[in-house]
Amino acid sequence: MAPWWAKGSHKGTSLVVKMENPNWSMVELEAPSEEDFLIGSTPTGSREKIRGKNAKQLTWVLLLKAHRAAGCLTSITSTFLSFGSTVRRRVASGRTDDNDIETDENKAVKTGFYNCIKVFLWLSLLLFCFEIAAYFKGWHFGAPNLQLQYILSVPVGFKDLFDWLYTHWVLIRVAYLAPPLQFLANVCIVLFLIQSMDRLILCLGCFWIRLKKIKPIPKHEAVADLESGEDSFFPMVLIQIPMCNEKEVYQQSIAAVCSLDWPKSRILIQVLDDSDDPMTQLLIKEEVHKWQQEGAHIVYRHRVLRDGYKAGNLKSAMSCSYVEDYEFVAIFDADFQPSPDFLKRTVPHFKDNEDLGLVQTRWSFVNKDDNLLTRLQNINLSFHFEVEQQVNGVFINFFGFNGTAGVWRIKALEESGGWLERTTVEDMDIAVRAHLRGWKFIFLNDVECQCELPESYEAYRKQQHRWHSGPMQLFRLCLPDIIRAKISVWKKFNMIFLFFLLRKLILPFYSFTLFCIILPMTMFVPEAELPAWVVCYIPATMSFLNILPAPKSFPFIVPYLLFENTMSVTKFNAMVSGLFQLGSSYEWVVTKKFGRSSEGDLVSLVEKGPKHQRVGSEPNLDEIQADLKQEQKTRKTKHNRIYTKELALAFLLLTASARSLLSAQGIHFYFLLFQGISFLLVGLDLIGEQFRVRPQ
């Protein structure tokens, strides 16, 4: 009896394989027929025919595999050619980060730091050439004791000039260079371990919060009062939207705030426009006017004297006489879009909690998957909010205000001295002063406010410089006040050592010094050593802990580790500038936004028609197209830059990796190699938004 698959006269289903190469034609491959399964009962001639057909099919399958392999090689080659072309154009353009230096003082500071890096680079190149020459002369590149044995085993009379020079170089290394380098390495290792322990404790605290399901919960009476719908239970809330030349995002923020679910008679929206561009001022003023016609309680304010940056803007707005009628103030930066129930989920926490001064919410990012840079930022900020902010909020009721997406009790602001323009981190400044006054903070991890991440490395670099120089400015100013404050010794220790020194000063110091300076120097002074667990295992563990709040980003754990070390040069430079009050520490550059989310909102608005409740004022299609064309025109004028400090460090690390390869130091070689490549990519501005400039 024939098997079931051999029943009928079906000869097999044809399989069509399409080859993309135009020199190859399409061919039909037949699927197995009943003859293929009855080989044992078929004549010899039929067997040969079947074998020939199977061989033909196998040949075409192999050709298909070869075609795919050729396509893969072509793609790789095209990628490398494109990469080389991009690098060539970037180098030929000659645009570097030095073009952004405006004052002579800033130029002197940045040039001095760059010159220090160049000294290490040239010294490493000189030593590398010296070591290669020694290698061909028969010197060992292993442990230091082998080198000393070689020195002692060669009679003095038989040594030529090079051997004499290298002998004295090794002795100088052992006697004078290795001890201080090893001491500095040990200090950095201790700081590294302390900071790693702090991070581990924070992660354990976050795990405990999740395990016990701990989160701030407003009193039931407050929630019931809001649900009753009577205006008498809704406190007066002031909304502030500070902005400066941010025409890409002003519509989405104003629309989102005007759509908050709160009685219009109990809310006032202040659009605080510090723009110096007349066209931007006109657009924002027109948008406010449109919402006023829709019935929103919104006002437009523009300062004539734009002193104090954002702090001066907020301070000026709080000086209005009508502010006395309001109990709370919510602040949103120009790219933030709160959900309609934002106030209903934050304001109830203040009821019957007179010590509460601030309710901070979490940020979420509309463009976190746009490029590698935004993905890495998402990892960092997810850890910051879910671990640092949440743990500090639950256990000590203190953390740094993020400057936006938070609600303040106006009484807390006034008792703490209000907004001050003395630093570039006015948000952290007011938080520290409020904490010293005894006010408590809570963080709501389950309330999110959408915003936009910087997509270009230039914008991210400037943002990080401000975020890391400002805390050091503030630390110098606040240290006497912290010491004199009438708070517990534990709170003083937490604020001085953990909040400022460990997380704002020690972290960028050891990260840059240990991995960018000491590690490559130990390749040329092998008598000073860094253990493999310092170079690989602990950093990998810390990166794993950092990425836990964003589990979908786990494939980017290695780029994240390398990029964090790469950013250490910017953070270290900013930390030193802020600590010693150098010129660059007072730079305030508004983080550039592209309005990624607003474009989608505008397009959906045109498709859906006039729905003012959530999206905003109804612009016509011509206006939308004009705005988008203007945005594209603006982007064309932008350029990617070359960052000299990052490039110098890239060559330093790559030179050290080559030296470690000669010494057969495996884990050190791989770390230095990949870290050097990371610095090279960042130095050539190949991470983040790539601006394509059309030739004129």
Residue 603 has pLDDT above 50, yes or no: no
The kind and range of the H/E element at 474 are helix 457-484
Q: What is the pLDDT of residue 94?
A: 58
- Mean pLDDT over residues 358-380, rounded? 95
For residues 577-606, average pLDDT: 64
Q: Tell me which of 430, 453, 476 is where a domain ends.
A: 453
Q: Hey, which residues does 508 pair with through a beta bridge?
A: none
Q: Are residues 423 and 277 in the same domain?
A: yes
CATH code where residue 251 lies: 3.90.550.10
The pLDDT assigned to 453 comes to: 94
Residue 301 has pLDDT above 60, yes or no: yes
Q: Do 505 and 516 reside in the same domain of the chain?
A: yes
pLDDT at 146 over 50: no
Q: 589 or 168, which is more confident?
A: 168
622-627 average pLDDT score: 54
Domain that residue 364 falls in: 237-368+399-453
Banded pLDDT at 695 (limits 50, 70, 90): very low
Distance CA 211, CA 370 (A): 33
274 is catalytic: yes
User: Is residue 376 very low, low, confident or very high in pLDDT (cuts 50, 70, 90)?
Assistant: very high
DSSP H or E segment with residue 3: none
Q: Which of 412, 438, 453 is the last residue of a domain?
A: 453
Choice between 616 and 467, residue whose per-residue pLDDT is larger:
467
Q: Are residues 421 and 555 in the same domain?
A: no
Average pLDDT value for the chain: 81
CB 263 within 8 A of CB 231: yes
Q: Is 11 a residue whose pLDDT tops 50?
A: no
CA-CA-CA-CA dihedral for 278, 284, 285, 288, to nearest 10: 180
Q: What is the pLDDT of residue 358?
A: 97
Query: Residue 64: which pLDDT band, with cuts at 50, 70 and 90?
Result: confident
Both 407 and 467 in a single domain? no
293, 183: one domain: no
- Is there a single domain that holds both residue 136 and residue 241? no
Q: What is the pLDDT of residue 564?
A: 94
> pLDDT by residue (tens digit) across 477-533?
999 999 999 999 999 999 999 999 999 999 999 999 999 999 999 998 988 989 999
Enter the tokens of residue 34: 């009943």
Assess whether 424 and 355 both reside in one domain. Answer: yes
Alpha carbon distance 125, 644 (integer Å): 17
pLDDT surpassing 50 at residue 37: no
User: 59: pLDDT confidence band, cut at 50, 70 and 90?
Assistant: confident
- 638 or 410, which is more confident: 410
The values of phi and psi at residue 601, to 5°, are -65, -40
Task: Give the per-residue pLDDT at 223.
Answer: 60
Which pLDDT belongs to residue 52?
Answer: 62
Count of residues for the chain?
Answer: 696
Would residue 149 count as lying in a domain?
no
Token duo for residue 111: 């040039």
Q: What is the pTM of this model?
A: 0.81
Q: Among residues 427, 429, 627, 685, which one is catalytic?
A: 427
543 and 560 in contact (C-beta within 8 Å)?
yes
- Whether residue 193 lies inside any domain: the answer is yes
Distance CA 235, CA 3 (A): 82
Domain match, 409 and 275 both: yes
Do residues 419 and 314 lie in contact, with contact meaning Cβ atoms separated by under 8 Å? yes
Q: Which amino acid is at 206?
A: C
Q: Quote the CA–CA distance of 659 and 656 in Å, as a whole number.
A: 5
Least confident of 4-8, 90-94, 263-267, 613-617: 613-617
Residue 381 reports pLDDT greater than 70: yes
**Cβ neighbours of residue 124 closer than 8 Å, sequence gap 6 or more:** 520, 521, 524, 652, 655, 656, 659
Structure token pair of residue 264: 């219009």
Are 311 and 428 part of one and the same domain?
Answer: yes
Given a cut of 90, whether residue 150 has pLDDT beyond it is no
- 1 pLDDT more than 70: no
- The residues near 577 (Cβ < 8 Å, ≥ 6 apart) are 109, 465, 469, 472, 583, 584, 585
Mean local confidence (pLDDT), 81-93: 66
In a domain, 681, yes or no: yes
Token duo for residue 18: 């399409």
List of residues 6+ apart from 610 with CB closer than 8 A? 618
Contact 677, 669 (CB under 8 A): no
Comparison of pLDDT for 155 and 83, the residue scoring more = 83
Mean pLDDT of 148-158: 50
In the predicted structure, residue 71 carries a pLDDT above the cut 70: yes
pLDDT at 19 over 80: no
Q: Where is the domain boundary, 385, 419, 453? A: 453
Among 12-21, 174-183, 429-438, the minimum mean pLDDT is found in 12-21
Q: How many folded domains does the chain comprise?
A: 2
3 state DSSP class of 27: strand
417 in a structural domain: yes
Q: How confident is the model at residue 207 (pLDDT cuts 50, 70, 90)?
A: very high
Taking Cα atoms as reference points, which of 577, 566, 574 lies closest to residue 512?
566
427 assigned to active site: yes
CA-based nearest residue to 308, from 320, 318, 300, 299: 318
CA 400/CA 388 separation, integer angstroms:
10
Give me the phi and psi of 247, to 5 degrees please.
Answer: -70, -15
- Of 295-309, 535-549, 555-569, 632-646, minimum mean pLDDT range: 632-646
In which residue are the tokens 């009193």 written? 219
Query: Looking at the domain assignment, is residue 126 inside a domain?
Result: yes
Greatest mean pLDDT among 484-493, 594-603, 609-618 lies in 484-493
d(C-alpha 248, C-alpha 597), whole Å: 10
Share of the chain above pLDDT 90, in %: 54
For residues 347 and 407, the answer to whether their CB atoms sit within 8 Å is yes
Weakest mean pLDDT among 87-101, 326-340, 403-417, 606-620: 606-620
Q: What is the pLDDT of residue 662?
A: 76
Let me know whether 195 and 244 are in one domain: no
Query: CB neighbours of 483 closer than 8 A, spacing ≥ 6?
Result: 492
For residue 666, what pLDDT is reported?
77
**In this model, does residue 113 exceed pLDDT 90?**
no
Angle at 274 between CA 269 and CA 280, to 5 degrees: 90
Task: Examine the domain organization and report whether 440 and 566 are in the same domain.
Answer: no
Report the pLDDT value the prediction gives residue 347, as an integer from 0 to 100.
94
pLDDT tens, 627-664? Answer: 545 555 554 456 778 898 899 999 999 999 988 887 76
Best CA proximity match to 188, nearest among 504, 507, 577:
507
477 to each of 273, 312, 432, 487, how far by Cα in Å? Answer: 29, 18, 11, 18
- Give pLDDT, residue 292: 95
For residue 472, being part of any structural domain is answered with: yes
Q: Which of 97, 163, 274, 685 is catalytic?
A: 274
Residue 8 has pLDDT above 50, yes or no: no
Domain assignment present for 315: yes
Would you state the pLDDT for residue 77?
76
Q: Does residue 37 lie within any of the structural domains?
A: no
Output the pLDDT for position 12: 46
Residues 449 and 468 in one domain: no
Above 90 in pLDDT, residue 686?
Answer: no
From residue 689, alpha-carbon distances to 289, 457, 635, 640, 692 in Å are 34, 7, 11, 8, 10
Task: Measure CA 501 to chain center.
Answer: 22
Residue 131 has a pLDDT of 83
